[in-house]
Amino acid sequence: MQVSAVRTTGIYCRADCSAQPLPHNVTQYSNPVAAEANGFRPCLRCHPERCAGSLADLDVPAPVGAALRRINDGFLDDHDEETLAAHVGYSGRQLRRLFEHHVGATPTTIARSRRAHFARCLIDDTDLTFAEIARAAGFGGPRQLHRVITSVFCFTPTELRSKRQHGERPHLDGGLVLTVPYLAPFDFETFISHQAARAIPGIEAASVHADGSSGYMRSFSACGHPGIAELAMPHDAAPIAAAPSGATSLAAGPNGTAAVPVDAGGERNQLQLRLHLPTYDSIIDAVSRCRAMLGTDEDPSPAEAALADDPLIGPLVRQAPGLRVPRSWDRFETAVRIVVNQQISLAAASTMCGRLAQRFGTPFDAPSQCCVDVQVPLTHLFPGAASLADAGPSGFVGLGFTQRRIDTIVGLSQAVASGDLDLSAADTLDDTVDRLCELPGIGPWTAHLIAMRVFGADDAFPASDLGLRRAAEGLAGHPVSAGELEALAESWRPYRSWAAQHLWHAAAVSSPRPPDARSH
């Protein structure tokens, strides 16, 4: 998102800000963090730092994209720039040079901005102490919080807090209620329907009700503690809603956890996120995972514009505005879920993954105050790669897996646990697919789905998917082979993942029967 920085005031604004500086005093920057790196602070009127996806649409080389993804995952909270550079194949100096050229700021500056803007929202919208806010945003303590906030916003935390109205302090026992803004339009109900068909028993649950309400909840680990995340659309959101009473706005800055702009009436496009955790520490990472899974910072308009005139896909795109490609909360969990789904139905794959969670996951007692109305309780954390790798093939006896599937799961787990397979890499689609296909039991269908859901590829396309073929057959009026579908999809590049999601959605809407086997 481009912003306008006014040299005479030291402030940067959104394009639609009501302020009208003289043109010769204005410098354009490609994103908010670049403006901050050059000494400008965000406008208090239009809040440009709260715009969603401000770094998501930058045209950057793959290594820079990989580094941005790691920064958004909190990598620089525990590592330095040299380690980050090594992970993407560069020296620290070369990576900094690329970042300054393509992004306008160094990796460290971007990571600092990520934490600062998240903390700013908690300062503005909650009564948490500064010590609690510092831990939640990943700072070392209140003194570091004070130093960074003052540097970025030119106001101390105390001064920023004095500028807003006091709200009711959240309580952990009933869940910390936050709002997650998104780039509109956003089809939350379709996302919930997608997740409901693929939910892993004991790990996640989703529900869509006749009255139009819907919700999703899942277990996760934060700083070694089990927790529950609940997602729902606020009841008064249609489609833009005011923040619920007592809610905390997580407009967390220009790094992929950012919010959409707040208008003069304080309204915004938003979902409601409730976190049940025994500690606030590093909740910034949980929110980043939530936004990544939902794709709230992904702008659907480029894909929709590219596909709108296609005779096959175009009508589907126009019928489902705001459809997103669901990604993943936990990359390893999603990769395993896709592997288990090979050659079996979605329901069977969910059952099998639930068995993995029961045997290898960490059990915990879910809070009784959860608000999402679901029938299946959450009981476990999904096992990590090291747990499944250490279990070995013998550990899967009695779970109902074929030997071939066991070998694939163990091989994937060992590759991830050892670091041979980096699920945060930003290689080209071809390189990602080739690397995945080197693992035992993983072919093009599995590799393309993992590329789509885990690596965030926009152009992945599992042409052999039975659900895609049947959807295409329904539109074309004749049988479509995998090869024919793949040839047909060439015109949908570079947004074949989005085209696939529209095909799956159209098939789900038009057919009352359960999803087909190998339809993901």
The 3-class secondary structure across 59-104, one letter per residue, is CCCHHHHHHHHHHHCCHHHCCCHHHHHHHCCCCHHHHHHHHHHHCC
Catalytic residue among 285, 330, 458, 465: 465
Whether 458 sits among the annotated catalytic residues: the reply is no
Q: Which residues pair with 214 in a beta bridge?
A: 208
Q: Considering the domain 172-298 in this protein, what is its CATH number?
A: 3.30.310
Residue 390 to residues 180, 316, 363, 408, 418, Cα–Cα distance (Å): 37, 45, 18, 14, 11
Q: CA-based angle 515:519:520, to the nearest 5?
A: 110
The tens-digit pLDDT sequence of the chain (520 residues) is: 778 888 888 888 877 787 788 888 888 887 788 888 888 888 877 777 666 656 666 778 878 888 888 888 888 888 899 999 988 888 989 999 999 888 888 999 888 888 888 888 788 777 788 998 998 888 889 999 999 999 888 889 998 888 765 444 433 345 777 878 888 889 999 999 999 999 999 999 998 766 667 889 999 988 778 889 999 887 655 432 333 333 333 333 333 333 333 333 334 578 888 888 877 777 888 888 999 999 988 889 999 999 999 999 999 999 998 999 999 999 999 999 999 999 999 999 999 999 999 999 999 886 655 555 556 689 999 999 999 999 999 999 999 999 999 999 999 999 999 999 999 887 889 999 999 999 999 999 999 999 999 999 999 999 999 999 999 998 988 999 999 999 999 999 999 999 999 999 998 887 655 445 455 6
Angle at 233 between CA 502 and CA 279, to 5 degrees: 115
Within 13 Å of residue 458, how many CA atoms lie on the same side as its CB?
17
Contact (Cβ atoms closer than 8 angstroms) between residue 5 and residue 12: yes
Residue 267: exposure state from Cβ atoms within 10 A (0-12, 13-18, ≥19): middle
Cα–Cα distance, 474 to 480 (Å, whole number): 9
The answer to whether 135 touches 58, Cβ cutoff 8 Å, is no
Please name the helix (run of DSSP H) or strand (run of DSSP E) that holds residue 230, with its range, or none: strand 225-232
Segment holding 204, helix H or strand E: strand 204-208
Which residue shows structure tokens 């971007």? 110
Distance CA 194, CA 211 (A): 18
Q: What is the distance between the alpha carbons of residues 325 and 113, in angstroms, rounded to a whole number?
A: 27
The amino acid at 406: I
Structure tokens that stand for 90 in this block: 């560069």
- List 13, 17, 46, 370, catalytic entry: 13
Crossing angle of the two packed helices 107-125 and 142-153, in degrees rounded to 10:
100
pTM of this prediction? 0.79
Query: 213: Cβ–Cβ under 8 A, 6 or more apart, which residues?
Result: 232, 233, 235, 373
Tokens of 265: 């009436």
**Whole-angstrom distance, CA of residue 193 vs CA of residue 508:** 9
- 43: tokens are 């406008």
Residue boundaries of the structural domains of the chain: 62-102, 172-298
Q: Any catalytic annotation for residue 465?
A: yes
419: left (phi over 0), alpha (psi -120 to 50) or beta: left
